[in-house]
Amino acid sequence: MAVSKSYFQLFFLHLALLILMLSGALGPATALGGNWNYEKGGSIKTFFGVRDLNQRNVFERNRILFNEERFRVQGALTHPNFRLEFADEAFVFVERDNPSPLPLPDFTPTSAWKARWTLLERKDVSIVGRLDRFFAQFQLGDVQWIIGKQVIATGVGQIFTAVSQVQRYMFDFIDPEFPKTEDAVSFIWSGPLQLEARFLPKVAEQKEQNFHIRVKGNKSNFDVALTSGRSDDKFYLGLESAGNIGDGLIRSELVGYQALEKKYLQGLLGFDYVFSPKWSGKLELFYNGFGRNQNYVFENFLHRTAPFRGQWYGALLLSWEIHPLLKAHWLSVVNLQDPSTLTHLYFNYSLSHNLDVLVGQFFNAGNEKSEFGGRLLVSPPNFELGAPNITYAAVRWYY
C-alpha cells in the first residue's frame, strides 16, 4: 500500500468540508448582501449488496459482497448575473478481495484534467476522491458563458446518447442521480434561435480538440436542432427534433460520424407518455453504428460515449407511484439482435423529505454468446466475462 502525503491532505479536506456542512457552520442558503447568496448542501449514501459474477476462469469467486459509502458536498456562490458552483465527492469501497490471474483493462474514459484521486487502496478497502463539478457561469441578457467542469446538455436521448464528449454511466451503476460532467467552455445565446457552442479539451487518448455546435429553433410546435462538431476525434453532423403529439412527447436524433475515412451512424427514437398521475413511461430505440453484429469480444469501445457492443437496442423505463411515499421503477435495455436483456428493478421509500430507502435488483438474460446474458471472450483463451446480477439495498440522506 502506497499513500502519498497529498492524498491524505485531500482526504482530510473532504472530511473537514463534510463536517462543516453537517454542523451547519457554513449555514443554509445565506444572503451575503448586495444580491450575493451562498447555497450549500450534499448527501450521504450507503449501499450494501451482492454481485453474482457471470465469468469463467477470470476471478477466484463467483459471488462478492460489497459495501459503498458516498459523501457529497456541494455549494454555490450566486448573483443575478453570476454563479460559481462546486461539488466534491468521496467514495469508500469495502469489498472482499477477489483475485484474478490476469489484469483486466479499465475502459473508463478520462477527463482533460485529473479530477479523481485514489486516497487509499488496500486489498479489501479503497477510498477515492473526485471533483464532480467546478464552474463559473456569467450571464448578460441573452448571453451565457460557462467555464469549468460542467454538465454538457446535448441531444434528446433520455436513456441512450447519440452525441456527447462526456463519459456516461454503465447500465449496472447503482443510483446515477447526478449527471456526469466534463471540462468545457460553453457559450449560449438565447435569441430567436438558440445557439450553443462548446469547446472540450482533448483527453490523453485523443489526438484533436473537441467542440460542439448546436442551433435550435421551433417549427410547428416542434423543437428542431442542427448539430455539428468533433467528438472523440470524429467529426459529426446531426439533426434533432422533439415535440408533443397528443399527450405524449416524441424525440428523434440522427447523427453521422466520420473518422479515419470511415463513416458511422448513430440514431435514436424516443417516446414519453404520462398514463396517469401515478404512471409514466419512456420508450427508446437506438442504433449504434460503432457496434458489432454479435461475435463480441472484451475490448475497448470504438466511441467513448457509446458503451455498447451491439448495434440495435430498445429500452423501456416505467415509473409507478404505489403510494405517496413508495415508488417503483423498471428499466429494461434490450439488445435486439442477440437478443439479451439487462433489467433494473428498484423500489424507493421516502422516510422523510430528505431520507430515502432503496431496494433493487439488476438481472441479465440471454444466451451464452449474448451481450448481457452471456460471456465475452477475454484474451488469453478460456477466459470469459459477462455482466453481473446485483442485489442491493441503499439509504440516501440529503442535507
- Dihedrals φ, ψ of 63, to 5°? -135, 130
Give dist(CA 371, CA 339) in Å, integer.
8
Residue 86 CB contacts under 8 Å (≥ 6 apart), including other chains? 74, 75, 76, 131, 133, 134
The full set of domains in the chain, from first to last, is: 5-398 (2.40.160.10)
- Dihedrals φ, ψ of 174, to 5°? -80, 125
As a whole number, mean pLDDT of residues 144-156 equals 91
CB atoms within 10 A of CB 117: 17
Residue 392 CB contacts under 8 Å (≥ 6 apart), including other chains? 47, 48, 49, 50, 174, 358, 359, 360, 361
Give dist(CA 286, CA 197) in Å, integer.
25
Bridge partners (DSSP) listed for residue 130: 89, 116
Per the prediction, the chain carries an average pLDDT of: 88
Of 174 and 16, the one with more pLDDT: 174
CB atoms within 10 A of CB 240: 23
Residue 143 CB contacts under 8 Å (≥ 6 apart), including other chains? 187, 188, 189, 190
Bridge partners (DSSP) listed for residue 198: 186, 212
What's the predicted TM-score (pTM) here?
A: 0.86
DSSP states along 158-193: SSS-SS-SS----TT-S---SPPEEEEEEEEEESSS
157-190, pLDDT tens digit by residue? 988 888 776 777 777 889 999 988 889 999 999 9
340-385, pLDDT tens digit by residue? 999 999 999 999 999 999 999 999 999 988 999 999 888 877 899 9
Give dist(CA 298, CA 296) in Å, integer.
7
Question: Is residue 389 a contact partner of residue 364, using CB atoms and an 8 Å limit?
Answer: yes
Give dist(CA 289, CA 265) in Å, integer.
5
